[in-house]
Amino acid sequence: MRFLTGLTWLLGCQLVGTVIVHLTGVPVPAPVIGMLLLLVVLRVRHPSAGGDGEGSVHVAADALLGHLQLFFVPAGVGVVAYLGLLRADALPVVAGLVGSWLAGLAAVGLLAQALAGRRSAPGEVPGGLPGEPPGGGSGA
């Protein structure tokens, strides 16, 4: 029963996200809006509100994650169906994939450096090894 309750919450947030996108016309995918709504719901209504330590959304998410590989089947079918189009436009597709991967890698790296710099103590070199003296050297 908890699985069905959790699945209802997940699909309900997805549905509300779809309705919001269709009514407002915002250029954001409906699943993203649904995930943001789910985040708000989970922050307002604590997931373990039932008192047993594991909420219904958590139970449903764990069950779905156990079958995550099945969610890649439609994407694989789409790639096979449009293989001719992908072959014709291979250079822009590969450039877009590599470019977006590099942009994501750079964004994560910059964010990690910024967060590491914010967490370091005064006088400590950001990213230094634990127990290493300030300045990053070994003292020799």
Q: Which residue segment(s) compose the domain that 107 sits in?
A: 74-119
Same-domain check for residues 44 and 81: no
Query: Is residue 1 pLDDT above 90, yes or no?
Result: no
Residue 80 confidence (pLDDT): 92
Residue 50 confidence (pLDDT): 54
Same-domain check for residues 14 and 56: yes
Residue 45 confidence (pLDDT): 77
Same-domain check for residues 112 and 91: yes
Q: Model confidence over 39-93: pLDDT tens digits?
A: 998 888 765 555 555 688 888 888 888 888 888 899 899 989 999 999 999 999 9
Same-domain check for residues 62 and 2: yes
Q: Model confidence over 91-112: pLDDT tens digits?
A: 999 999 999 999 999 999 999 9
Residue 44 lies in a domain: yes
DSSP string, the chain: -HHHHHHHHHHHHHHHHHHHHHHH--SS-HHHHHHHHHHHHHHHS-TTTTSSSS-HHHHHHHHHHTTGGGGGHHHHHHHHHTHHHHHHTHHHHHHHHHHHHHHHHHHHHHHHHHHHHHHSPTTPPTTPPTTPPTTS----
Same-domain check for residues 58 and 8: yes
Residue 128 lies in a domain: no
